[in-house]
Amino acid sequence: MKSSIGVIGLGIMGSAISANLVRAGFDVHGHDIVAARRRTLAAAGGHPQRSASEVATRCGIVVTSLPSAAALQEVVQAIAARQPRGRIVVETSTLSLDDKQAARKRLAAAGVVMLDAPLSGTGAQARTRDLVVYASGARRAYQRCAPVFDGFARAHHHLGAFGNGTRMKLVANLLVAIHNVAAAEAFTFARKAGLDPALVYKVIGDGAGSSRMFQVRGPMMVAEEYSDATMKVEVWQKDMHVIGDFAARLGCPTPLFAASGPLYAAAMACGRGREDTAAVCAVLGAMAGITPRARRRGRR
């Protein structure tokens, strides 16, 4: 058995990370405010704990995967209250630089080192250990965490000073936002042209027009089924705001990213907030006058 590793936040990403760490031989202790997620951890072979502070007490390295800045602040306060000196917190959430810096300072005062280490990949990719870690912060802490990263990710990179991980993640997510909408637009275009979406996925995926988002979210767009979310639209909206705010602070034009925003907002307005972000394909389909698959079946 390898060392004890903590995971706080057992949602789509955190549950996949914890399950992969268990399979890699780590003794995994986890916490989530949702009881069902703690039970899922137990079923995977991990050890659910009643609080974030209990996880930090038991584990020298703690991975956090959280939905909001408020959740991070609450977890950081709980960890710091135990004064767990010498611990490392690997913060993988997509949040603003200001929120990450505030958390780092609070933990440093308690003798805890924090790495800013967002992840590149969807929930589906997380389940198959197809993630990339954008780690930043103290190199010695990064080196200590490398075996843990190997347990749940395909690759990991040290990007230098704390905060560079988030900067890289925002660049990556800008591309994801654009490529996801581009894939949805392509499938809508293909349907209007009378092409079989499954054939489009096979042929385009084999050529220069493909992208990772086309490959990962294309099957959902072909099936017109978005309920098994690897990234929920309502969560993605938070990421979009973080990117937009950071770009505005930099004075950087992002015309393609800006053009994608209304489609995600429309998906929310259509009641698709809990669906996968691939649901922008349904929004574009409605705009194009394409009858949804479920209604087409009903006519038969």
Residues 285 and 225: their CA atoms lie apart, in Å, by 13
DSSP output for 31-51: E-SSHHHHHHHHHHT-EE-SS
Helices (H), the chain: 12-23, 35-44, 52-58, 69-81, 97-109, 123-127, 139-152, 164-192, 197-204, 212-223, 233-250, 255-269, 280-287, 293-298
Q: Does residue 106 sit in helix, strand or coil?
A: helix
Sign of CA dihedral 119, 125, 129, 130: negative
CB burial readout 190-213, b (16+ within 10 A) else e: bbeeeeebeebbeebeeeeebbbb
Angle of helix 164-192 relative to helix 233-250, nearest 10 degrees? 120
Clarify whether 169 is annotated catalytic. yes
Q: Which of 100, 169, 192, 202 is catalytic?
A: 169
CA distance 90 to 106: 14
Q: How far is CA 257 from CA 94, 187, 260, 270, 273, in A?
A: 17, 19, 5, 21, 19
Count, residues in the chain = 300
Q: Where in the sequence numbering do the catalytic residues fall?
A: 169
